Amino acid sequence: MRLSFRPYPLQLRHTFTVATCSRSATPDVLVELYHEGFVGYGEASMPPYLGESIESVCDFLRKTDLSAFTDPFRTEEILAYIDAIAPGNCAAKASVDIALHDLQGKLLGKPLYEMWGLTADFDLPTTYTIGIDTPEAVVQKVREVEGRFRRLKIKVGVPGDHEMVQAIRSVTDLPLTVDANQGWTDPQKALDEIQWLASQGCIMVEQPLPKQNLRDHAWLTARSPLPIVADESVQRLPDVQRIADSFSGINIKLMKCTGLNEARKMIGEAKRLGLKVMLGCMTETSCAVSAAAQLASEADFADLDGNLLISNDPFEGMQIVDGNIRLNALPGIGLRVKQEK
């Protein structure tokens, strides 16, 4: 197998603000994996807070030599080699994992969900994320997507978030999920906020407190009227058991966990431990989003809107139909390359 890659900066439709940062572009690297006339597509997306960059991903991929692997179906062996190249580098590792799985599906002529014995016949709404903004801008963003989504996700944990929620409630009664991105520090105050948010039609809360505060999260989860889902507190497979007593569920993102192979193991572990499963994403093209969506039949919550937040998606893949995730029957992760203009 042979790998090629190129930087592909993602342009965001709106400047995106969460409790910890604000940005208008996301660095990204597109990967192609060739074998016997087939090509698998992969992607590394690097939001600034995870410590990877175009340079670090390209450095990692330059060290990656898959020429010795002649059987693309030796998944564990190939990905163990990738994981051992260097610690960290989770998005870089995910780009190879996604390309490898896409290639496998294409070699077999089957979508991944079918290869894994999963189904495309499910109803799972994805949330559409509204970043932190002025009440007027938030109303504008909600109106822009009116009728296309069944759930919205909002970012809270900053001053003025009540006004933002009330502004959204002035234009829609859709269920809301809430992401505090570690923005609250006092568990009692977080509980008060969550109770207020529940009264406003919120149905789930992501990462209310700083990621290392597992004991405070356990206290909060025991009292919260809404499920509390770990995002920043959970990255890879060993984290699932470590945080299991502190949260109601986990947010699995391919860029955090090194890709589909580990994501599938995390889903198994979460179900074994009685945790809810959320599939999330970064701002990504349809490549990584469609890869994650192959697992959607196994999830309780989905936030797979990263491709909708960018204006230069080079692919078409998973679609949102009536607010629900719809997988196509194309092999691998189900991508079509858009015609270059």
**Piece in contact with Mg ion (CB under 5 A), picked from 50-58, 139-147, 223-231, 326-334:** 223-231
What is d(CA 332, CA 68) in angstroms, rounded to the nearest whole number? 23
Q: Tell me the window of 120-128, 184-192, 194-202, 203-211 that interacts with Mg ion (CB under 5 A).
A: 203-211
- In the list 83, 206, 262, 313, the residue contacting Mg ion (rule: CB under 5 A) is 206
Q: Which is nearer to Mg ion, 83 or 231 (CB)?
A: 231
Residues numbered 266-325 forming contacts with Mg ion, rule: CB under 5 A: none
Q: Minimal CB distance to Mg ion: which residue? A: 231
Minimum distance between the CB of residue 152 and Mg ion, rounded to whole angstroms?
Answer: 14
Buried b (16+ CB within 10 A) or exposed e, 59-89: ebbeebebeeeeebeeeeebbebbbeeeeeb
State which of residues 161, 231, 239, 313 lies at the interface with Mg ion (CB under 5 A): 231
Q: Check residue 37 and give left, alpha or beta (phi > 0: left; psi -120 to 50: alpha).
A: left
Least Å from the CB of residue 158 to Mg ion: 14
| Nearer of residues 20 and 328 to Mg ion, judged by Cβ | 20
Q: Are 275 and 244 in contact (CB under 8 A)?
A: yes
* Residue 179 or 269 having the CB closest to Mg ion: 179
Nearest-5° angle of CA 19, CA 23, CA 25? 145
Nearest distance from residue 188's CB to Mg ion, in Å? 22
Q: Where in 162-191 is the site for Mg ion (CB under 5 A)?
A: 179
Decide whether 97 or 231 has the Cβ nearer to Mg ion. 231
Stretch that binds Mg ion, among 74-82, 119-127, 225-233, 308-316 (CB under 5 A): 225-233
Least separation, in Å, of the C-beta of 91 and Mg ion?
16
Cα–Cα distances (Å) from 220 to 176, 290, 329, 332, 336, in that order, read: 19, 33, 42, 40, 44
In terms of CB distance, is 168 or 180 closer to Mg ion?
A: 180
Say if CB 92 and CB 44 are below 8 A apart.
yes
Cα–Cα dist 287/1, whole Å: 20
- Among left, alpha and beta (phi > 0; psi -120 to 50; other), residue 334 is left
User: Pairing state of beta strands 127-130 and 151-155?
Assistant: parallel
Q: In degrees rounded to 5, what are phi and psi of residue 107?
A: -65, -35
Please give the size of the binding site for Mg ion, defined by CB under 5 A: 3
**Residue 216 lies near Mg ion (rule: CB under 5 A):** no
Residue 274 sits at the vertex; the CA angle it makes with 272 and 277, to the nearest 5 degrees, is: 95
Nearer to Mg ion, 104 or 127 (CB): 127
Comparing CB distances to Mg ion, the nearer of 133 and 231 is: 231
Contacts with Mg ion, residue ranges (CB under 5 A)? 179, 206, 231
